[in-house]
Amino acid sequence: MPDITDMTTQVRTTDDPLPSIGPARVVDETVAALRQAILSGDLRPGQKLSVPALALRMGISRSPVREAVLALTAEGLAVESPRRGVVVTELGLKETQAIHEARGPLEGFAARLAAERGPADLGRRLDGILAEQAEAVATGDEDGYFRTNAAFHRAIAAACDNAEVHRLLVSLEGRMALALRQVAARPGHRESGLEEHRKVVAAIKARDGSGAETAMRAHLAATRQRVVIAPGSEDQMIVGSSSAK
């Protein structure tokens, strides 16, 4: 648990609102815990998020749980039906495809911007991430691949120097991660993914905006293709009831 550090009563010459130290809020920890539970599959798609039940299990009151559940809903990791409650988001094949399709132009654009106006050390940082990823791929560390993959895309999103693009990509992260769980097992996908990541980095290092955009879109399109034929995911797929309007 985080220790409530000293409230530095320093005088602060700048009128900066505040350094704003540690969260220490129960809500934040609850959001983190629930997000983790959803992304790890601990809470399965379609499962109900009962506020009283969760509060009881976590030993806290209903208020922060309610707020956390709503936050997850805003993140797209859960869906609310008024008077019905909230359930973990179920992503069908169509939705998973849509997510990857949406990522294309957005993240392609981010890659372009990162290449054109990203910080000088971006290439080096991406290299570091990919080195870690290569390690994960070599040892078959599925979880490590996930983490480095997220770090890779996050680094580019953060480096594009456009807060709005960054915002949008962050708001996609959760659903992307949820969608990715369905292709994780595909043999060779990690190797291919790493290879595609390398092409993106090469273009970024060369400050080639168009090339970076193209490489990123190719990577996402390929990922989407790998989703289509993902094997053994029938049981993970939702039943798709009442989908088509």
Partner DNA sequence: AGATTACATTTTACATGTAGAATTGCAAGC
Partner DNA sequence: GCTTGCAATTCTACATGTAAAATGTAATCT
Residue 20 or 187 with smaller CB distance to a second copy: 20
CB 55 within 8 A of CB 65: yes
Residue 95 interacts, among a second copy, DNA, none and using kind-specific CB cut-offs from 5 to 8 Å, with a second copy
For the chain, give the DSSP string. Answer: ------------SS--S--------HHHHHHHHHHHHHHTTSS-TT-B--HHHHHHHHTS-HHHHHHHHHHHHHHTSEEEETTTEEEE----HHHHHHHHHHHHHHHHHHHHHHHHH--TTHHHHHHHHHHHHHHHHHTT-HHHHHHHHHHHHHHHHHHTS-HHHHHHHHHHHHHHHHHHTTTTTSTTHHHHHHHHHHHHHHHHHTT-HHHHHHHHHHHHHHHHHHHHT-TT-TTTS---TT---
CB of 8 to a second copy, least distance (A): 6
Shortest gap between Cβ of 46 and DNA (angstroms)? 12
Task: Return the number of the residue (69 or 216) whose C-beta is nearest DNA.
Answer: 69
Asked if residues 54 and 43 have their Cβ atoms less than 8 Å apart, the reply is no
Tell me the site size for DNA, rule CB under 7 A: 24
d(CA 162, CA 109): 10
Binding residues for a second copy, rule: CB under 8 A, are 2, 4-8, 14-18, 20, 23, 25, 28, 46-48, 50, 53, 57, 66-67, 70-71, 74, 76, 81-84, 95, 98-99, 101-102, 104-106, 108-109, 162-165, 167-168, 171-172, 175, 239, 241-242
Residue 185 CB, shortest distance to DNA, in Å, is 31
Query: Which among 24-32, 34-42, 135-143, 208-216 is the span making contact with DNA, rule CB under 7 A?
Result: 24-32
60 near DNA, rule: CB under 7 A? yes
CA angle, 185 as apex, 181 and 190 as ends, to 5°?
95
34 near DNA (CB under 7 A): no
52 touches which of DNA, a second copy, none (CB within 5 to 8 A by kind)?
Answer: DNA
86: contact with DNA by CB under 7 A? yes
Closer to a second copy at the Cβ: 229 or 239? 239
Minimal distance, residue 163 CB to a second copy, in Å: 5
Choose the one of DNA, a second copy, none that binds residue 74, judging by a C-beta under 5 to 8 angstroms depending on kind: a second copy
CB–CB of 178/88 below 8 Å? no
| Stretch of residues binding DNA (CB under 7 A), selected from 43-51, 131-139, 166-174, 215-223 | 43-51
Q: Which residues bind DNA (CB under 7 A)?
A: 7, 11, 18, 25-27, 48-53, 60-64, 67, 80, 82-86
